[in-house]
């Protein structure tokens, strides 16, 4: 009896996995652009599938629910940001240098539409409404970002470049809030300030915060 060609079977499975992954990435990119354009509340799974070039039902098939899509989208947005960090400063030293690299990535992006920032800020703004269904997922995402920054602050304290008066989690929260707040103002009114000048001022502010003792 002939036996199935295992290499062909393996190739077929791999192709199916690759297609699924490609479809998910396309739909997450579509969702990111939709949220950046009009927010999360009005978004539908069918709309995501169609904008990605697939059927109306494919997003529901892949993500199950809108909450499932949101969880995946939060990770996707973060991955895109970390990709920018790596592109801008792939060889930064852990600690203070890496933290400053995050600021560089936040304000020195090549995306003229600031799609990632718009999508994230739209999600966060809608997440704080009283009846928000997305608050828990966004809080989970926010905490993961805070922990990432706190780890770099701990490293900086350990090697002596960040002052020991800094509590890692508290300082990470301040850093996140400052970057997002400045970006929100810039996106609401681009005439607020020059992004390059904001970037320069923020670097100085954060360096002072991290290296100076608390009063």
Q: What is the pLDDT of residue 3?
A: 55
Number of domains within the chain: 1
Q: What is the pLDDT of residues 147-201, one digit of tens each?
A: 999 999 999 999 999 999 999 999 999 999 999 999 999 999 988 888 889 999 9
Instruction: Give a yes or no: residue 1 inside a domain.
Output: no
Instruction: Give a yes or no: residue 17 inside a domain.
Output: yes
Instruction: Give a yes or no: residue 15 inside a domain.
Output: yes
Helices (H), 4-134: 6-38, 45-51, 58-63, 66-88, 96-107, 115-127
Q: What is the mean pLDDT of the chain?
A: 89
Residue 190 in tokens: 């681009």
pTM: 0.84
Which candidate, 204, 92, 105, places its Cα nearest to that of 155? 92
Q: Give the CA-trace dihedral at 102, 85, 142, 136, to 10 degrees.
A: 160
Instruction: Give a yes or no: residue 190 inside a domain.
Output: yes
Instruction: Give a yes or no: residue 149 inside a domain.
Output: yes
Burial call 4-35: b when 16+ CB within 10 Å, e when fewer:
eeeeeeeeeeeeeeeeeeebbebbbbbbbbbb
Residue 134 in tokens: 């997305």
Q: What is the pLDDT of residues 82-120, one digit of tens each?
A: 887 777 666 789 999 999 988 988 888 777 778 999 999
Note down the domain range covering 86.
6-211
- CATH code of the domain covering residue 177: 1.10.357.10
Instruction: Give a yes or no: residue 132 inside a domain.
Output: yes
């Amino acid at each position: 009896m002939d036996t199935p060609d295992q290499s062909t079977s393996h190739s077929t499975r791999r192709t199916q996995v690759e297609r699924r992954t490609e479809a998910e990435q396309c739909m997450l990119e579509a969702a990111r652009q939709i949220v950046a354009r009009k927010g999360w509340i009005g978004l539908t799974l069918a709309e995501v599938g169609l904008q990605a070039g697939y059927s109306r039902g494919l997003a529901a098939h892949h993500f199950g629910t809108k909450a499932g899509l949101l969880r995946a989208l939060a990770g996707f947005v973060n991955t895109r940001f970390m990709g920018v960090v790596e592109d801008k400063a792939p060889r930064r030293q852990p600690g203070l240098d890496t933290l400053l690299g995050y600021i560089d990535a936040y304000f020195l992006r090549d995306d003229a539409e600031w799609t990632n920032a718009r999508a994230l800020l739209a999600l966060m703004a809608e997440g704080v409404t009283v009846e928000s269904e997305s608050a828990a997922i966004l809080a989970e995402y926010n905490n993961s970002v805070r922990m990432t920054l706190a780890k770099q602050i701990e490293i900086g304290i350990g090697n002596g470049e960040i002052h020991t008066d800094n509590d890692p989690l508290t300082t990470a929260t301040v850093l996140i809030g400052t970057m997002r707040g400045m970006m929100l103002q810039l996106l609401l009114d681009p005439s607020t300030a020059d992004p390059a000048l904001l970037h320069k001022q923020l670097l100085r502010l954060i360096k002072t915060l991290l290296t100076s003792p608390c009063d």
